[in-house]
Amino acid sequence: MKNEIKPAKGKLGALIVGLGGAVSSTFVVGTLAVRKGLSKPIGSITQLATMRLGKRNENNFPKIKDVVPLTDLNDVVFGGWDIFSDNVYDSAVHAEVLTKDDLDGVKDELLAIKPMPAAFDQNWVKRLHGTHVKQATSRWDLMEQIRKDIRDFKAANGCDRVVVLWSASTEVYLPLCDEHQSLAALEQAMKDNKEDKIAPSMCYAYAAIAEGAPFIMGAPNLCVDTPAMWEFSEKMGVAIAGKDYKTGQTMLKTVLAPMIKTRMLGLDGWFSTNILGNRDGEVLDDPDSFKTKEVSKLSVIDTILQPELYPELYGNVYHKVRINYYPPRKDNKEGWDNIDIVGWMGYPMQLKVDFLCRDSILAAPLCLDLVLFADLAQRAGMSGIQDWLSFYFKSPMHDFEHVPEHDLFIQYTKLKNTLRQMIGEETLDYLD
C-alpha cells in the first residue's frame, strides 16, 4: 500500500550530537564535498544503490534516489552540539581522518559550522572533559534548553524539518529501570533530576521527539530504546531509529554468521578484538562505557544462530569481544576475529579475519542515509521504531514482542521492500 509522502520541500536540518567528533566531521565534510562535485558518495545506499521494480525480466533497476522522494543533498543544513567549541574544520583537522586537500575543498563552509554547547555529564563519559557545555538545574531544564536550540536553529537557517542524530560517545552502561518504563515515569525522573537514571542522551532524544524531529541513536546507549521513549514517539508521531552504527567487525558478523548457519556448520567459539585510537577508542577504554558497547556487540551471534533451535550446533558457543585503545592507530581501526567452526563428523576448522578499516569512513555514509531515510519516514507518517532501518545498526531497536533481525541480507531486503511499499510498488519475494 502506497504511503502518502509529503514532498521534501525546503531545507532539512541535520543536527548532530557530537558535531566535532571524527564520525560527524567526516560525514559533514564528505556530504559537502559530494554536493560540490569534489567527491563520490561511496558507501551510501541513498545516493548510489539501485532497486529492482517489477519482474526480473523487465530489467528495471533505477537508483533509489531517482524513484524515492528523498531530500536533495543541496537542501541539507548542518549543525549540532559538541563538548568542545571548535568549528567543524578545526575538528576535522584534529580528527586526522581526512587529508588537508579534502578539507580545504569545503573549508569556508566548515569554518561557518560551529557547535552549540552540549548537554554533558562527566559521570556518563568519564574519559572526556568537556569545556563547551550547558549548565542546568535539572535534566528537565537541560532538555528544555535543547528544545530551544532546535527551534532557534530551524529559525536561523530557514529549515522546514530537522533530524537529530547522535554520533557522540558511548555512555556508561545503564540497565532498563522503572524510570524508563512509561512516559510519565520518565518525565517525573527528569523533573526530579535523577541524574543516575536519566543519561544526557535521553535529554536529546526527548527534546527531538517533543519538537517533532526524528531521532537516531548511533551509539549503544540505552537512551531511546525504552518503553517510555517508544510511547512518546508514538504519541508525538515521530520516527526513531537505533542503535549503534554497524560498521566494521559487527558488519562482518552479520554476514559470516548467516553463512555458517545456512550451511548448518557448527560453531565452538568466536573471539573478536579491536584496536582503535580515536576519541571513541579513548572513551571505550573505560570499563563502564565498554560494557555498553559489549552488550551491543555480543547480541548479534545468538540472535542469528538461534541456539535454542540448533543446540547441537550452537548450544555452547564461547563468544568474547575486546576493544583496546591504541593511540597510534588513530581512526584506522583493526578488527581481528578468530572463528572456530565445526564441520562434517565433528572435524574442526578455523576462519580468521583481519579487517583493517577506517571507522569514520565506514560510518559517515551510514549517517547520511539515516538522516535522509528518517526524514522520509517522518514525511510518510511512519512514527515509532523504524525497524526497516535495522540494516544500519549493531543492536536494532525492537519492542518486547518482537525479535530483532540481524542477518544483513534479510535486513537489506526489508529496507528495499519498505521503500517499494512506500512508493506503491510490489514488494519482492524473489520467487519469480
Does residue 48 sit in the same domain as residue 169?
A: yes
User: How many domains does the chain fold into?
Assistant: 2
Per the model's pLDDT, the better-predicted residue between 42 and 326 turns out to be 42
**Has residue 347 been placed in a domain?**
yes
Q: Please compute Rg for the chain using Cα positions.
A: 21
Does residue 231 sit in the same domain as residue 101?
A: yes
Does residue 327 sit in the same domain as residue 185?
A: no
pLDDT 10s digits, 302-335: 899 999 999 999 999 999 999 899 999 888 989 9
pLDDT 10s digits, 406-429: 999 999 999 999 999 999 999 998
Q: Which of 342, 358, 374 is the last residue of a domain?
A: 358
- Give the residue among 229, 222, 257 at the shortest CA–CA distance from 410: 257
Does residue 24 sit in the same domain as residue 132?
A: yes
**Structural domain for 175, as ranges:** 11-245+361-422
pTM higher than 0.85 for the full model? yes
pLDDT 10s digits, 231-241: 999 999 999 99
**Has residue 369 been placed in a domain?**
yes
Does residue 75 sit in the same domain as residue 207?
A: yes
- Give the residue among 45, 402, 208, 357 at the shortest CA–CA distance from 217: 208
pLDDT at 1 (0 to 100): 59
- Give the residue among 81, 80, 75 at the shortest CA–CA distance from 32: 75
**Phi-psi region at 240: left, alpha or beta (left = phi > 0; alpha = psi -120 to 50):** beta
**Has residue 172 been placed in a domain?**
yes
Q: Which of 358, 392, 411 is the last residue of a domain?
A: 358
Residue length of the chain = 432
**Has residue 286 been placed in a domain?**
yes
Q: Is the pLDDT of residue 222 over 80?
A: yes
- 162 alpha-carbon distance from chain centroid: 16
**Has residue 431 been placed in a domain?**
no
pLDDT mean across residues, the chain: 95
pLDDT at 300 (0 to 100): 87
**Has residue 238 been placed in a domain?**
yes
**Has residue 4 been placed in a domain?**
no
Lowest mean pLDDT among 142-156, 203-217, 319-333: 319-333
User: Is residue 392 within 8 Å of residue 366, measured between CB atoms?
Assistant: yes
Does residue 206 sit in the same domain as residue 230?
A: yes
Does residue 96 sit in the same domain as residue 237?
A: yes
- Mean pLDDT of the region 155-166: 98
pLDDT at 298 (0 to 100): 75
Does residue 180 sit in the same domain as residue 286?
A: no
Residue 97, C-alpha cell as written in the block: 581522518
pLDDT 10s digits, 103-136: 999 999 999 999 999 999 999 998 889 999 999 9
**Has residue 200 been placed in a domain?**
yes
User: Cα separations (Å) of 367 from 17, 44, 244?
Assistant: 12, 9, 11
Alpha-carbon gap, residue 358 to 362, rounded angstroms: 6
pLDDT at 37 (0 to 100): 98
pLDDT at 2 (0 to 100): 76
Does residue 374 sit in the same domain as residue 346?
A: no
pLDDT at 292 (0 to 100): 73
CB neighbours of 311 closer than 8 A, spacing ≥ 6? none
Does residue 115 sit in the same domain as residue 231?
A: yes
- Torsion, Cα of 105, 108, 110, 114 (10° steps): 170
Does residue 272 sit in the same domain as residue 312?
A: yes
Alpha-carbon gap, residue 108 to 95, rounded angstroms: 18
pLDDT 10s digits, 266-307: 999 999 999 988 777 778 777 877 787 777 767 789 899 999
Q: Which of 307, 327, 358 is the last residue of a domain?
A: 358
Does residue 160 sit in the same domain as residue 87?
A: yes
The CATH number of the domain holding residue 165 is: 3.40.50.720
User: Is residue 246 within 8 Å of residue 389, measured between CB atoms?
Assistant: no
The CATH number of the domain holding residue 335 is: 3.30.360.10
User: Is residue 118 within 8 Å of residue 103, measured between CB atoms?
Assistant: no
